[in-house]
Amino acid sequence: MSMSYKEKSLIASMGVTLLLFGWYFYGAFSNLSLNQEPQLSTIIVLIVLVIISEGIIQSFVALKNKSLLEDERDKLIERISYRYSYGFLSVCIWFLMVQILLDTWFDNHLILTTPFGIFHFLLLFFVLSEVIRFGTQLYYYRKGI
Amino acid sequence: MSKSLSNNIRKLRFEADEMSQQTLADKVGVTRQTIFAIEKDKYSPSLEVAFKISNVFKTPLEDVFTYE
């Protein structure tokens, strides 16, 4: 079975997200700089890079496909993937909230609950929830619903 | 034993002068991949799409889809 426009578009988006945010998180977590202030310029460059890369790749994918039609199956798969993504993000937010509560009991000794630690983990959870959204859509396109 | 939806779309396409999946998809207003998924019983279409498919083949709905 050949891939539809939606599948190609999803693979492209997932690739861009993993590559660019992977690069950012590698830098943020590899030297345990969670206490350091996130470089605003790095984040702006990252967001601009994601927008430009997405624009170029999606235009290329759209040019290569005759039909850009989105039908009821696409919408159903998208709805299911949002449910998984939302579930994951909710669990992560609760996890962070519990960490913040625990931190107050342990006299602010948890690295995760420093303001910049929370920033990095929140960004990581948002990116992971996006990856889950792309991944579940691709899974249901292949497996069927 | 659980029941499942099956269909005769492949046979109906063959009888309709080997109508391609793309032609059927264009007439119904869905993507070719959706027609492929319906044919392979990997997706159960909405009533609207099911009726549109039966209209394309000018056949009653129960001749296109069976639930057993």
A71, A143, A145 member nearest B31 (Cβ): A71
Whether residue A145 and residue B42 make contact (CB cut-off 8 A), yes or no, is: yes
Tell me the residue range of the domain where B14 lies.
9-61
pLDDT-above-90 percentage for chain A? 42
Query: Does a structural domain hold residue B66?
Result: no
> By three-state DSSP, how is residue B6 classified?
strand
The secondary structure element, H or E, covering residue B67 is strand B65-67
Query: Does a structural domain hold residue B33?
Result: yes
Residue A62 tokens, joined = 């759209």
ipTM here: 0.85
Query: Does a structural domain hold residue B24?
Result: yes
Q: Per-residue pLDDT tens for A121-132? A: 899 999 999 999
Q: Per-residue pLDDT tens for A85-144? A: 999 999 999 998 888 888 877 776 666 667 777 888 899 999 999 999 999 999 999 888
- Is A4 near chain B, with CB under 8 Å? yes
Q: What CATH number should be reported for the domain holding residue B54?
A: 1.10.260.40
Whether residue A69 and residue B30 make contact (CB cut-off 8 A), yes or no, is: yes
Q: In angstroms, rounded to a whole number, what is the distance separating the alpha carbons of residues B30 and A92?
A: 37
Query: Does a structural domain hold residue B68?
Result: no
Residue B43 tokens, joined = 């997706």
Query: Does a structural domain hold residue B3?
Result: no
A4, A7, A72 member nearest B46 (Cβ): A72
User: Are residues A12 and A137 in contact, defined by beta-carbon separation less than 8 angstroms?
Assistant: no
Total count of domains within chain B: 1
User: Are residues A57 and A12 in contact, defined by beta-carbon separation less than 8 angstroms?
Assistant: yes
Q: How far is CA A90 from the centre of its chain?
A: 14
Average pLDDT, whole number, for chain A? Answer: 85
Q: In angstroms, rounded to a whole number, what is the distance separating the alpha carbons of residues A118 and A100?
A: 9
- Is A143 near chain B, with CB under 8 Å? yes
Whether residue B30 and residue A4 make contact (CB cut-off 8 A), yes or no, is: no
